[in-house]
Structure 1
Amino acid sequence: MPKLKVALLIISDTAFKDPSTDKAGSILREVFQASDWDIIDVSIAPDEVLPIQQYIIKWADGENYVNAIVTTGGTGFAVKDNTPEAVEPLIHRHAPGLVHGMLSSSLAVTPFAMMSRPVAGVRNRTLIVTLPGSPKGAKENLEAIIKLFPHACVQAAGADSRAIHAGGVKQLEKEAGVEGPEKKDDAPPGHSHAHHHHHDHPHSHGSGGHTMPIAHTKPDDRPQQSNDPSAGPTRRYRKSPYPMRSVEEALNLISQHTPQPQVITLPVGESLIGYVLGEDVTASEAVPAFRASIVDGYAIRFPTSRVFDKGVYPISMISHAQAIDLQPLKEGEIARITTGAPLPPGADAVVMVEDTVLNSLTEDNREEKEVEILTSEVKRGENVREIGSDVKAGSVILKKGEGISAVGGELGLLASVGTIEVKVYKKPVVGILSTGDEIVLHDRKGELKLGEVRDTNRPTLLTAVRGSGFDTVDLGIISDKPGALETTLRESLRKVDVLITTGGVSMGELDLLKPTLERSLSGTIHFGRVSMKPGKPTTFATVPIKSSTTGARESKLVFSLPGNPASGMVTFSLFVLPSLHQWSGISPAGLPRVKVTIDEDIRCDRLRAEYVRAVVEARADGKLYAITTGGQRSSRIGSFKGANALVCLPVKDGVVERGELVDALIMGKLIGGL
């Protein structure tokens, strides 16, 4: 296997002006060389967003990309610390586990690790990690995660994930040279199976694909007949038996039948990311738990009722940032101390090393013996972080309803006070399957036969659900045949809390999903049509399923989405996501709604509300502007390419003119800037 390539970026105004002042670059170079990496570039950038982004884009984009980019500096809270703001918008997929690993490693050294704002993730095929500017901190952070870099880089470059994981986690740990915790006997083996595919083919029953369906009779003129699948196609409905619901009515029904959040207990760790707290969390410990120095210098003890005089003092002990036993500091003596280290008992303040000069060394010339303190203006408590000054024991550090984000701040706060476990709201497990005998795997080799369609919806929805922070079960493709459909649906509902299906909900003779849910599974269809475009046949149902553990009946949710790709993604965003959020305690549920100014004339539908895929941009005038992504046909999944919003068009005979304000549901990051 060829060497992996890494580029190093030192971010510092000082080093940019005078490269000789940089100390971190050489240290990181040594760490990578020891791990047999090919260092292709080491550059220095000022603490400014644009130069940082230019280096990252140069190294990560194009054919000559590097496997990893590591930056050092600019991750703190200083006004000039811009690294996270520069790097985060460039990342396509975030890596919260690496962030957590770095913070956990640093927190073992000093609580001040909570003041770092690291970012990690993947852009295209390149892993990007930001390290602190301190040479010591940068080295500690890098050494905590570097053994996992090859695994991450190989996967990011497009390697077969299934083949990589074939030997199991223990084999991966052995190859990486890391050790994991002992696995419990009853723990299931880890399994990762993700798909990321994009298609632009219709997936619907009887839609005809590229032309809009046209009916030549009015609904009221068509006699309603039996919907019993066993009666054959001649007896199927010519008119839907389900009343047309407005979007608002559909959302209300979903909210009514979505279970209320259930509280569970989870250990504090990476697995908490994406969960919402089910109760307030109080600090069991104070931070800091001891009086600590905030500078490198010397701890001093004030004489009784007098100021501390400058002069020469003997050093009686040394205090580093680690667990040690310290003797009381006597009057007339001082203790050398590092940032974050505990003050000896009896110490009143800390003098900065800058306010001292070395007076003499020990006989072996290896330690300081006496130090002259140059100032008598030191006050009691100066340069000291008192017990509980950051977090008081017993105080509420996180409130019920707050989420645990991938940035890591909440996890760092929980870890800092020794929290072992917390109560959170359980997240539902989501199963996804495609229906239709005409549907074939997206990656099946060879040409399609007449009538076959590659499965677009399932991999797209799997990605969307996982990207929203929920566990998924890939249930594959099922047949349109009634017996096979019933068996697969019943087995699937035993595995998941929420089932998402696509296809089989229109008026074709093979669209058997609704009758199967009602007649075979004793389900209740709460709505089977919605007055919207695209997504009219969207169906929401609840099905009672006997629990395999308790034996009690549990109500499972079923969202049957249209087969056309764009319809499926619109209805997922509009209906499924709010239900998943409500179940998980996320509030407000669903996509955020904002007002946008339309930047083009858009024709409306006079009968149904329409949800148009669009790009929303923030401009210098402080307003949000929206422009559509082109053709909005329901089978055109390409209409989602680049889209970050759904523009909500009203029912109207005419157009929404350029410059008008309308609502939009935001699906992703806004582009542009104010």
Structure 2
Amino acid sequence: MSSSSDLQSSPEHVVAKRARISQWPAVPMTRAFEAIDRIADKFPPESKGYPTVALTNGRVIAEDIRAPENVPKARTSVKDGYAVIAADNLMIRRVAGVATAGQPWDGILQPGECIRISTGAVIPEGADAVVQVEDTTLAGYDGDVEVAINILIAPEVGKDIREKGSDIKENDVLLENGCELGPAEIGLLHMFGIQNIEIYRKPKVCVMSTGNELVESYHICPPQGFIRDSNRPQLLSLFRSQGFKPIDAGIASDNIDSIEAAIRQASEFASVIVTSGGVSMGEKDYLKEVLRNRLGFEISFGRVWMKPGLPCTVAHGKINNLPVVVFALPGNPVSSYVCANLFVTPFLRAMAGCNRPKQPVIKVKLAAEMRLGPRPEYCRAWLESRCGETFPIANVTGNQISSRLPSLVGAHVLLVIPQSSTEKTQLEKGELVDAIIISSLF
């Protein structure tokens, strides 16, 4: 029989005395989102000047961009046809000249005259309508040159004329602070010749895995009891797809000193640290202890009432007097990916200055019935469009167990499935549910 002193120093004694029920209450999703929003307020986005010619998709504007001029600058034609005086009505008109885009006609239009005009050309002085070429016939010509036309439809004042500033008025807000740049936004900046703008800096994020059982993915045949690390490459790829440049912080072994050292080292490179593993009830799950007791961080929540992702933990504090936030995601690959989409990606986008940091949510129709469980669930699904259906059809990607990574393959959305209640234990085929878009739909 072991002595008392032997028991005090024995690791088995620690395991035997460990808590059997988590001390961390599982907070509802609304509380988790609110907590993350409060943390985001502690990390205001930073801006810098940037040349327009170097802009790429995904950059976020850090100022309101206003139109320096009217569009169009002058009255222009909407159609190919003839600029006329509407009061001349249906009379035959002499073709007095030609106006094309970039080559306006300089004269003043007189009664009985018209100007052959191209789409986008400046309306000549004196003209107040455009008649499209389809509504005219040739009334006279000299060789290859038309000299007169007949108008078949009575002109209306203002018809087929774009008035000065009708598209965009000078000083209109073109792009708002927090707007994420895409092809249209970049085109708009070039349209007005805007040379430099203020953009927000992208936050830096480190990604690491924890676990004695993990080896790098290049191992051809891992030893018995070891597995290749898939979480880290998956999360790095996710953040890259969102326009960030994540830093690979490697694998930390399952002991308190190693985890603390890894987080401290990662904090030298990034203010956002994303870990996976070590947050559940296992005897080697030390992350919460490191965050709270070693680093002195405030743990905003240590569990979330959701499936998958129950052990998800978020904490924040300072290291070397610099603010740091840690998203400690579960070790199961599906859980970590779902939590990263729901919590980490919107946080990074908020830090990047996005005024719409969260993924779009759409309504979809279930392709099959679904049993409800005790926790709200985020099921992976792919979408299809069916003839005659108003809403996309959501097809669940097979078995939704949190360890089954193939359930993410081809998934367009996370279906927001409510928890069961005494009134409702199942969703029927054809019911509408919310779906969070997590990948390109084409």
Task: Tell whether the structures are fold-level matches, with TM greater than 0.5.
Answer: yes
Give secondary structure in 2 for the equivalent of 1:533: coil
Q: Any residues of structure 2 matched to 1:125-164 within 5 Å, and which?
A: none
Q: Which has the higher contact order (CA 8 A, sep 6+)?
A: 2
Aligned to 1:342: 122
Aligned to 2:100: 320
Aligned to 1:457: 231
Structure 2 distance, partners of 1:457, 1:398, is 37
The reply on whether 1:371 has 2:152 as its aligned counterpart is no
Aligned to 1:360: 142
Structure 2 distance, partners of 1:630, 1:311, is 72
Structure 2 distance, partners of 1:519, 1:313, is 88
Structure 2 distance, partners of 1:536, 1:626, is 24
Name the stretch that deviates more: 447-456 or 485-494: 485-494
The reply on whether 1:667 has 2:437 as its aligned counterpart is yes
Aligned to 1:282: 66
Aligned to 2:27: 246
Aligned to 1:479: 252
Aligned to 1:635: 403
CA contact (8 A) 1:261 1:425 kept: no
Question: What percent of counterpart residues are identical?
Answer: 33
Aligned to 1:29: none
Cα distance per residue 1:24-48 (max 9 Å; x no partner):
xxxxxxxxxxxxxxxxxxxxxxxxx
Cα distance per residue 1:40-72 (max 9 Å; x no partner):
xxxxxxxxxxxxxxxxxxxxxxxxxxxxxxxxx
Structure 2 distance, partners of 1:232, 1:494, is 33
CA contact (8 A) 1:598 1:626 kept: yes
The reply on whether 1:572 has 2:351 as its aligned counterpart is no
Aligned to 1:491: 265
Per the alignment, do residues 390 and 636 of structure 1 end up closer, same or farther by CA in structure 2, a change over 3 Å counting?
same
Give secondary structure in 1 for the equivalent of 2:398: coil
Structure 2 distance, partners of 1:626, 1:350, is 50
Give secondary structure in 1 for the equivalent of 2:18: coil
Cα distance per residue 1:60-89 (max 9 Å; x no partner):
xxxxxxxxxxxxxxxxxxxxxxxxxxxxxx
Cα distance per residue 1:263-302 (max 9 Å; x no partner):
63655568464456666543221111122222334545x5
Aligned to 1:395: 172
Choose from 395, 408, 417 the match for 1:648.
417
Q: 1:488, CA displacement in angstroms?
A: 3.4
Aligned to 1:555: 323
CA contact (8 A) 1:616 1:670 kept: no
Structure 2 distance, partners of 1:247, 1:512, is 24
Residue type of the alignment partner of 1:432: V
Aligned to 1:218: none
Give secondary structure in 1 for the equivalent of 2:250: strand
Q: 1:529, CA displacement in angstroms?
A: 2.6
Aligned to 1:430: 205
Q: 1:455, CA displacement in angstroms?
A: 1.9
Structure 2 distance, partners of 1:388, 1:604, is 57
Residue type of the alignment partner of 2:308: P
Aligned to 2:3: none
Per the alignment, do residues 234 and 565 of structure 1 end up closer, same or farther by CA in structure 2, a change over 3 Å counting?
same
Structure 1 distance, partners of 2:395, 2:373, is 15
Structure 2 distance, partners of 1:351, 1:418, is 33
Structure 2 distance, partners of 1:348, 1:651, is 67
Cα distance per residue 1:75-117 (max 9 Å; x no partner):
xxxxxxxxxxxxxxxxxxxxxxxxxxxxxxxxxxxxxxxxxxx
Per the alignment, do residues 562 and 293 of structure 1 end up closer, same or farther by CA in structure 2, a change over 3 Å counting?
same
The count of aligned residue pairs is 421
Q: Point out the structure with the larger helix share.
A: 1
Q: 1:329, CA displacement in angstroms?
A: 4.1
CA contact (8 A) 2:420 2:426 kept: no
Structure 2 distance, partners of 1:595, 1:299, is 50
CA contact (8 A) 1:287 1:416 kept: no
Q: 1:386, CA displacement in angstroms?
A: 2.1
Q: 1:343, CA displacement in angstroms?
A: 3.6
Choose from 197, 201, 214 the match for 1:439.
214
Q: 1:559, CA displacement in angstroms?
A: 0.5
The reply on whether 1:543 has 2:317 as its aligned counterpart is yes
Per the alignment, do residues 531 and 250 of structure 1 end up closer, same or farther by CA in structure 2, a change over 3 Å counting?
same
Name the stretch that deviates more: 500-509 or 451-460: 500-509
Residue type of the alignment partner of 1:287: V
Give secondary structure in 2 for the equivalent of 1:574: helix
CA contact (8 A) 2:95 2:116 kept: no
Per the alignment, do residues 497 and 460 of structure 1 end up closer, same or farther by CA in structure 2, a change over 3 Å counting?
same
Structure 1 distance, partners of 2:149, 2:393, is 62
Q: Any residues of structure 2 matched to 1:208-219 within 5 Å, and which?
A: none
Residue type of the alignment partner of 1:465: F
Stretches of structure 2 that go unaligned for 5 or more consecutive residues are: 1-6
Per the alignment, do residues 519 and 339 of structure 1 end up closer, same or farther by CA in structure 2, a change over 3 Å counting?
same
Q: 1:507, CA displacement in angstroms?
A: 3.9
CA contact (8 A) 1:293 1:384 kept: yes
Structure 2 distance, partners of 1:614, 1:369, is 64
Give secondary structure in 1 for the equivalent of 2:235: helix
The reply on whether 1:293 has 2:65 as its aligned counterpart is no
CA contact (8 A) 1:614 1:628 kept: yes
Give secondary structure in 2 for the equivalent of 1:374: strand
Per the alignment, do residues 621 and 459 of structure 1 end up closer, same or farther by CA in structure 2, a change over 3 Å counting?
same
Structure 1 distance, partners of 2:67, 2:289, is 54
Residue type of the alignment partner of 1:235: V
Residue type of the alignment partner of 1:295: K
Q: 1:506, CA displacement in angstroms?
A: 3.1
Cα distance per residue 1:407-429 (max 9 Å; x no partner):
x3444444444444556665533
Q: 1:568, CA displacement in angstroms?
A: 0.9
Per the alignment, do residues 651 and 581 of structure 1 end up closer, same or farther by CA in structure 2, a change over 3 Å counting?
farther
Structure 2 distance, partners of 1:418, 1:231, is 72
Q: 1:595, CA displacement in angstroms?
A: 7.9
Choose from 501, 506, 509 the match for 2:275.
501
Give the aligned CA root-mean-square deviation in angstroms: 4.2
Per the alignment, do residues 669 and 559 of structure 1 end up closer, same or farther by CA in structure 2, a change over 3 Å counting?
closer
Give secondary structure in 1 for the equivalent of 2:268: helix
The reply on whether 1:310 has 2:92 as its aligned counterpart is yes
CA contact (8 A) 1:475 1:492 kept: no
